[in-house]
Chains A and B, each alone.
Chain A
């Protein structure tokens, strides 16, 4: 089984709808991240969390919110989706040491019409 899972894998929604993307991990890591990928722009950080009570905004947090329900779960919400939030969304995890590696989920393709 995958260490970092994301649901759904693909989603089409309408403008103005609320949508939640979920991320779960079995690696026992403290740190979790949400990134957004747009063609030609690479991946950009939306939010990150170093533990359940520590949540921080990233480079492009406007229009998004997050919830760290447990060490293993980190959800990303779009309160009122808009078409320019159409993108590929990745969740990633890492541990709290100086270990350098981040482990990525398979991504969620979100389309807002």
Chain B
């Protein structure tokens, strides 16, 4: 069974600085998707960024980028130029590409605080 581990329960960053959130996962599959979701106090789950395992190039979405290391099974999220609105829970998630496996497997989350 696949597992996702986020080893940082809480992180803090100064506004305008850069922060990296860690995620590791365990799987025997070669094809899969990885995601980072943001959950602000409104509790809505918001997709931040996604990565297909077959793509070597790291995904980037504006100030958000990932460092995907397939061999190491590592998928970290870098937030550049942090803003107060980035304060939230961040969840790393795994999705198998096997037929019949559509659900997401989540890590336990990292709470990010942004200091003005």
Q: Which residues of A contact B (CB under 8 A)?
A: 31, 33, 35, 40-45, 48, 50, 58, 88, 90, 92, 94, 98, 100-102, 104, 106-107, 109
Contact = CB atoms under 8 A, between A and B. Distances in A.
A58 B100 CA distance: 13
B91 A43 contact: yes
Interface string B23-48: 00000000001010000000111010
B103 interface: yes
A49 B78 CA distance: 34
A53 to B, nearest CB: 14
Contacts of B105: 45
7 contacts: A35-B104, A40-B109, A43-B104, A44-B106, A45-B103, A48-B102, A107-B43
Given A33-B103, A40-B9, 9 more contacts: A31-B102, A42-B4, A43-B106, A45-B103, A50-B100, A92-B104, A102-B102, A104-B44, A107-B44
Contacts of A50: 100, 102
Given A98-B97, A106-B43, A107-B44, A42 B33 contact: no
Interface of B: 4, 6, 9, 33, 35, 43-45, 47, 50, 52, 91, 95, 97, 100, 102-109
Nearest to A104: B45
B52 to A, nearest CB: 7
Nearest to B97: A98
Contacts of A90: 45
A58 B103 contact: yes
A40 B100 CA distance: 28
B8 to A, nearest CB: 13
A88 B95 CA distance: 21
Nearest to B100: A50
A101 B102 CA distance: 10
